[in-house]
Amino acid sequence: AQKITQTQPGMFVQEKEAVTLDCTYDTSDQSYGLFWYKQPSSGEMIFLIYQGSYDEQNATEGRYSLNFQKARKSANLVISASQLGDSAMYFCAMGPNQGAQKLVFGQGTRLTINP
């Protein structure tokens, strides 16, 4: 069975600072994908970034990057130059590398950006 663990229930960061949100995972599969989603207070789920287990380079999308350490089974999200609009819940999720994206989610981290 796959499992995602997010150990930081809440994080408080000053605006413009970088922030790292932790995510560790457990799986016996060799091929898998790791996702990060953002959930603002309005409730929708917004896709941020994806990393495949066979990708050798860490994924980046604008201010978001995924620090993928396969041996440690970690997939931390790094947000550079944080903005007030980054305040939200952040979920790490795992799924297959192909086919139906039956995702397993962590419990989430609530990020608050202070001005």
Partner 1 sequence: NAGVTQTPKFRILKIGQSMTLQCAQDMNHNYMYWYRQDPGMGLKLIYYSVGAGITDKGEVPNGYNVSRSTTEDFPLRLELAAPSQTSVYFCASSPNLGGAEAFFGQGTRLTVV
Site residues for partner 1 per CB under 8 A: 4, 33, 35, 43-45, 47, 50, 52, 91, 93, 97-108
Dihedral of alpha carbons 73, 26, 106, 11, sign: negative
* Residue 43 Cβ vs partner 1, minimum distance, rounded to whole Å: 5
Between residues 67 and 96, which has the closer beta carbon with respect to partner 1? 96
* Residue 115 Cβ vs partner 1, minimum distance, rounded to whole Å: 26
Between residues 15 and 61, which has the closer beta carbon with respect to partner 1? 61
Longest dimension (CA), the chain: 42
* Bridge partners (DSSP) listed for residue 89: 39, 110
Helix residue ranges per DSSP H, 1-115 = none
* Residue 16 Cβ vs partner 1, minimum distance, rounded to whole Å: 28
